[in-house]
Amino acid sequence: MSLRPTVDFLLYQWLDAEKLQARERFADHSRETFDAVLDTSERIAREKYAPFNRVVDTEEPRTETEPDGTLRVVLPQATYEARRAYAESGLLSAAQDYDIGGMQLPYTVEAAANSFFAAASISIGSNLLTSGNANLLMVHGTDLQKQVFALNEFNGRWSGTMCLSEPQAGSSLSDVATRAVPDGEGFESDPLGPRYRLKGNKMWISSGDHELTENIVHLVLAKIPGPDGKLVPGTKGISLFIVPKKLVDTNGQLTGVRNDVALAGLNHKLGWRGTTNTLLNFGEGKYPVDGQAGAVGYLVGQPGKGLHCMFHMMNEARIGIGMAATMLGLAGYYASLDYAKNRPQGRPVQGPKDGAAAVVKDAAQPQVRIVEHADVKRMLLAQKSYGEGALALNLFCARLVDEQHTGDAAAADEARLLLEVLTPIAKSWPSEWCLEANSLAIQIHGGYGYTRDFPVEQYWRDNRLNMIHEGTHGIQAMDLLGRKVLMEGGRGLQLLAGRINATIERAIQVPALAAHANALGKALQDVGAATKAAWATGQPADALANAVPYMQAFGHTVLAWVWLDVALATLAADAALAQPASVGRMGAMRFFFHYELPKIGAWLQVVSTRDATCASFPEEAF
């Protein structure tokens, strides 16, 4: 089974993506146009990404020093070609309006299209950041900022970054120390936006420097000092700035002046090596502008609202990470399935014979392919249930994004709130379980999987990043239990429970699903009770001490729901299970209910009892 049929099933049979045509924005679209986008993506991914996934790992980004002391990033040729093919495909602006050259493609289909690139080589492209950057400007930028910066990102001329973290401020953005001061008199009247000079260091900036594009548009979080010269503590003081690597005029032409943004170094990572990851120094005076140190930046939106602007894009960015983790998980699944079907090793167990205690095998028989061993099947089925389940969840969330943007007011609001609750799961769950899937893919390969002659060890290394970036696992868990399940009086959680119960009510009518429906109902009750118990004292320190186990249980419950709903769609499309793919989906669903869902008991126990073993553990006792 390859990726495309699974994507097609989820899009058309499960999510009914064709119905989006009924929306005015998507009226010109049809399954044919969607398929054409998927075909193109699949082809470019196959030709320009997949063959070079190991190359970008081996030839990781390095720097050369130019005669003038500038550090230049060296990337493999394949990265240039992949980037060019992607930009030329129009996918960067696929979701945008026709009048700026977009295709008005639903986000659901865009996300599905991007899945092929992620599966082929997660680290070659960092196109999601460019899209996210430009999307943010389309919402919060001025008309000229959109025209000059966003459009030149969508058309592929320039690329974009998100500069949030600093060496001392990773998870804790309130500690951002980059300063932005007005750039002289008349700073407010620059047509590109109020002009500031920025000084500070930004860490972990993906695609922060390279020569893949003519220019790089940095979106930078920084603080404007108060009249006393001090920075406002906390996130409220954070503003957002456009800081181009090279200065441009109002027509989007390079002025020939380099901005004061200097590459300080590259991070040498465990994986995801195709994407340059940088430490950038803003305004250190390496490239003074008008004789002055300080990177020129243009304010986006209101001062002090920088994080608000940034978080506007956060849901989609987090779904993007969830999708990245998912596709790595599925890539490992396909690789290990292929290996298991072709590797002969061992024989079926027999006996014990004649009362002998030992299990015997008949060594005179030829070896069987390892896909015939139950334990290998178990490892394949686990990968399938993690990967396809995660893909379903992420496409469901993408569908909610479309609902939020094009549904009627009530539906849009409901989608917004469901997204708030589901996004931490869409990001964290694949990060954790598709990493486990990659470990199982290695295990199926045996010693060969531990070598660089097979792709699975790279998937595992690449995937390890996803629990860290765009908000760590711990941050997602605090967001879920500390904010999302509480917000708007708990209405998000109620909405989700309503959706889950609707699936349960349908499934309980179906003999093959009734037991699973009951198990899911019980799990939902348990999660609800644990949520209440966690907050019973009203003390965040009590509730959040076990936020991660809570998120793990919440995530497994959500995935069980997704699988049960996918099973309903499977039976609706193929009640007789005549297709092997249908049998496969039902098996993966059963696996999830038998092997995975029962795990929530152990996680919820510590949540329900507000277990303080960890929180109260004294530092000196470690």
- Indicate which residues carry an active-site annotation: 470
Q: What are phi and psi of 578, to 5 degrees?
A: -75, -25
CB 95 within 8 A of CB 298: no
Query: Pick from 546, 504, 545: which is nearest to 524 by CA?
Result: 504
> In terms of CB distance, is 410 or 622 closer to a second copy?
622
Q: Does 528 bind a second copy (CB under 8 A)?
A: no
Strand (E) or helix (H) holding 140:
helix 127-140
Closest approach, Cβ 355 to a second copy, in A, equals 10
Cβ distance to a second copy smaller for residue 98 or 450:
450
CA 105/CA 127 separation, integer angstroms: 17
> What minimum distance in Å lies between the beta carbon of 583 and a second copy?
4
Task: Pull the structure tokens for residue 354.
Answer: 């004649």
Identify which of residues 402 and 420 has a Cβ nearer to a second copy in the complex. 420
Taking the complex as a whole, how short is the minimal distance between the CB of residue 150 and a second copy, in angstroms?
Answer: 28
Tell me if 442 contacts a second copy by CB under 8 A.
Answer: yes
Contact 158, 216 (CB under 8 A): yes
Residue 356 carries which DSSP code?
-
List the beta bridge partners of residue 263. Answer: 280
**Helix (H) / strand (E) containing 494:** helix 487-507
* Contact status, residue 241 vs residue 297, Cβ threshold 8 Å: yes
Alpha-carbon distance 517 to 506, whole Å?
Answer: 9
Q: Which residue's CB is nearer to a second copy, number 30 or number 451?
A: 451
Residue 5 interacts with a second copy (CB under 8 A): yes or no: no
Q: Which CB, 143 or 619, lies closer to a second copy? A: 619
CB 560 to a second copy: min, Å:
13
- Give 75 or 465: the residue with its C-beta nearer to a second copy: 465
Q: Which stretch in 105-113, 177-185, 268-276, 409-417 sits in contact with a second copy by CB under 8 A?
A: 268-276
Residues in region 467-486 near a second copy by CB under 8 A: 467-469, 472-474, 477-478, 482-483, 486
Closer of 251 and 622 to a second copy (Cβ) = 622
Shortest Å distance, C-beta 64 to a second copy = 20
Q: How far is the CB of 541 from a second copy (least distance, A)?
A: 6
- Our finding on whether 171 is near a second copy (CB under 8 A) is yes
Stretch that binds a second copy, among 95-103, 217-225, 370-378, 517-525 (CB under 8 A): 370-378
In the chain, the largest separation of any two C-alpha atoms, in whole Å, equals: 97
Kindly indicate which of the ranges 147-155, 502-510, 521-529, 584-592 contains the residues binding a second copy, using the contact rule CB under 8 A: 584-592
Residue 7 phi/psi, 5-degree rounding, is -60, -45
Q: Write out the binding residues for a second copy, residues 175-214 only, by CB under 8 A.
A: 175, 203-204
Minimal distance in Å, beta carbon 452 to a second copy?
A: 5
Q: Find out whether 610 and 532 touch, Cβ atoms under 8 Å.
A: no
Closer of 113 and 337 to a second copy (Cβ): 337
Q: Which stretch binds a second copy (CB under 8 A): 186-194, 262-270, 518-526, 564-572?
A: 262-270
The residue from 19, 72, 361, 522 that contacts a second copy (CB under 8 A) is 361
Judged by DSSP in three states, 453 sits in coil
CA-CA distances (angstroms) from residue 238 to 63, 175, 259, 469?
Answer: 32, 10, 22, 20
Q: Does 576 sit near a second copy (CB under 8 A)?
A: no
Residue 133 to residue 142: CA distance in whole angstroms: 14
d(CA 223, CA 179): 5
Q: Which of 446, 502, 537, 572 binds a second copy (CB under 8 A)?
A: 446
Taking CB under 8 A as the rule, which mask of x and - marks residues 308-347 in contact with a second copy? -----------------------------x---x--xxxx
Please give the Cα distance from 373 to 392 (Å, whole number): 28
- Window 7-46: residues binding a second copy (CB under 8 A): none
Q: Cβ of 135: how many Cβ atoms within 10 Å?
A: 21
List Cα–Cα distances, 404 to 83, 239, 417, in angstroms: 30, 26, 9
Taking the complex as a whole, the smallest distance from the CB of residue 610 to a second copy amounts, in Å, to 11
Cα–Cα distance, 582 to 588 (Å, whole number): 10
Radius of gyration of the chain (CA): 26
Q: Among residue numbers 226 through 245, which ones bind a second copy (CB under 8 A)?
A: 233-235
Q: What tokens appear for 111 in the block?
A: 């996300």
Residues 546-565 interacting with a second copy (rule: CB under 8 A): 546-549
- Does 376 sit near a second copy (CB under 8 A)? yes
Query: Which of 103, 261, 392, 465 touches a second copy (CB under 8 A)?
Result: 465
Pick 149 or 592: Cβ nearer a second copy: 592
By C-beta, is 21 or 605 nearer to a second copy?
605
Site string for a second copy, 136-165 (x = CB under 8 A): -----------------------------x
Which range binds a second copy by CB under 8 A, 108-116, 293-301, 505-513, 543-551? 543-551
Site for a second copy (CB under 8 A): which residue of 5, 184, 352, 498? 352
H or E stretch including 604?
helix 600-608
Among 2, 30, 77, 168, binds a second copy (CB under 8 A): 168
Q: From CA 164, how far away is CA 201, in angstroms rounded? A: 10
According to the 3-state scheme, what is the secondary structure of 381-404?
HHHHHHHHHHHHHHHHHHHHHHHH
State the DSSP string of 180-227.
EEE-STTGGG-TTSSEEEEEEEEEEEET-S-SSSSEEEEEEEEE---T
